[in-house]
Amino acid sequence: MGTTAIILAAGKGTRMRSVLPKVLHKVAHMPLLEHVYHTAKTIPDCKVGIVYGHGGELVLEELNHLKAEWLEQREQLGTGHAVKQALPVVSENDTVLILYGDVPLTLSSTLNDLVTASQETGFSLLTVTLENPAGYGRIVRNSEHFIERIVEEKDADDAIKSISEVNTGMMAVSGKHLNKWLGQLSNDNAQGEYYLTDIVEMAVTDNIEIKSIQPENEYEVLGVNNRLQLAELERFYQLKHADELMTAGVTLKDPARIDVRGDLEVGQDIIVDVNVIFEGNVSLSDKVKIGPNTVIRNSQIGENVEILANCVIEDAVIGKGTKIGPFARIRPGTKLAENVHVGNFVEIKNSNVANGSKVNHLTYIGDTDIGKDVNIGAGTITCNYDGANKFRTVIGDNVFIGSDTQLVAPIEIADGATIAAGTTVTKNAPAGQLTLSRTKQVSISGWKRPVKNK
Ligand code: UD1
Ligand code: CA
């Protein structure tokens, strides 16, 4: 006996005012629907069916990596009609969990509790009590507090509108019952829709007690209908992650000013200053310090690394004790080994820098291997691109590159070489020697500065 989660995602989302179907809008860089999918997948032995409709091609294209049954609802005739489209993938012995593709932040523990509650009687609802219940279906209970029916706002009189316990839309129902009840739905109501909520009265008729549970947090049941709500849920998501990070031993200078858009793995005693964004898979080892306004994407940051303000680091591996920034850009394919220093206005792409080397000022290093204990002077440029192809630069250990040097690749600077400032290196530089290319300096005596004509 397993669970089948049916995610309703066919609605249009008019109020998003977007060409994108609503469920593809993102929280923390992940489509709303994908959040729901991943939470459903945390339930043991759970299959997923997704009912799609509006913008179907886009949804399929964007999310075809999800392991789900895709079920098309051609016309949106109501939530009951939507669930009906999924019946072919539901077996009688399953517990069917109904979820909404635009409600992204439900906790996995809440869904587990909902499924467990349904197993007692065959039917459970996730309800919530709201200060302002307007717009929601109201939960009507009898004098013994048993749930009797759900009345949609548009079908409600004033007495029912005053009820503050509402239907979140999430429920768990035995496949057998669902199959039977969906067959009995009609669209005889204010909206002319097939309401899934009508199965509540059918359950009561069949003497099935409807269990109810409530989520721990209100944000778990909030849906996205417009961009204001999208932004609101983004903040809930981020604050929750900030809490988790602090609980795990990370110092955040301001938990309201960090964004995690992906998976962030952390060690201990990490300090993160304000406005830092983590994207994709990032890991931070113990005692990493990150200054303000930095973006780190898909990178591993080693122990004791210090990243100063305003850096952008992408697809990189940074070794222990290395210092980066302020204002440095580390681009894809870069590996900085241990105790490397990268300073301001330095860009490094697809390069390896070995232990103890320094690239401190105003420099471009691309497609380069730099050995140990190398010093790269200010304003050094690796000319790695001839307009058609890219070439590598290889710099040995203990090399000293003077300021304002161009290294025209492919080129090799052997161990211990010194390159004088201002040199354009076009031939390999031998080990241990000084290499320079400069026109001789001359001074002209008696030379007069031009003066302005009167
Ligand atoms: C529904 C519930 C209401 C509940 C509210 C919570 C019904 C009849 N009403 O109302 O009790 O308080 O959710 O938000 O169930 N969808 C489809 N196909 C359809 C219709 C809807 O896939 O034909 C999807 C939508 O994309 C959305 C979800 O189902 O994700 C809910 O639909 P929506 O129209 O927002 O339901 P409400 O009328 O708000
Ligand atoms: Ca809704």
In order of their start, the domains of the chain are 3-221 (3.90.550.10), 227-435 (2.160.10.10)
Please say if the pLDDT value at position 1 is more than 80. no
State which ligand 1 atom lies nearest to the alpha carbon of 102.
Answer: 30
pTM: 0.94
- The predicted pLDDT at position 245 comes to 98
Average pLDDT of the chain to the nearest whole number: 97
- In angstroms, the CA 420 to CA 429 distance is 11
**Ligand lying nearest the CA atom of residue 221:** 1
On the question of pLDDT at 54 being above 90, the answer is: no
Contacts of 312 (CB under 8 A, 6+ apart): 294, 295, 328, 329, 330
Average pLDDT over residues 125-141: 97
Average pLDDT over residues 198-208: 98
Does residue 137 have its Cβ closer than 6 Å to ligand 1? Answer: yes
Cα(206) to ligand 1 centroid in Å equals 24
Q: Whose CA is nearest to atom 36 of ligand 1?
A: 79
227-239, pLDDT tens digit by residue? 999 999 999 999 9
Segment 361-371, tens digit of pLDDT: 999 999 999 99
Burial level of 287, CB count in 10 A (0-12/13-18/19+)?
middle
259-310 residue pLDDT tens: 999 999 999 999 999 999 999 999 999 999 999 999 999 999 999 999 999 9
pLDDT for 59 equals 96
Q: What is the pLDDT of residue 147?
A: 98
The C-alpha torsion from 205 through 211 and 217 to 222, rounded to 10°, is: -20
- Check residue 207 and give left, alpha or beta (phi > 0: left; psi -120 to 50: alpha): left
Confidence of residue 390 (pLDDT cuts 50, 70, 90): very high
User: Is 361 in the active site?
Assistant: yes
Which ligand has the shortest distance to the CA of 52?
1
Quick one: what percent of the chain has pLDDT higher than 90?
98
With a 6 Å cutoff on the Cβ, whether 16 touches ligand 1 is: no
What would the mean pLDDT of 341-356 be, rounded to a whole number?
98
Could you tell me whether strands 30-31 and 26-27 are parallel, antiparallel, or unpaired per DSSP bridges? antiparallel
* Confidence band for 12, pLDDT divided at 50, 70 and 90: confident
Contacts of 258 (CB under 8 A, 6+ apart): 238, 241, 242, 245, 252, 272, 274, 275, 276, 277, 278
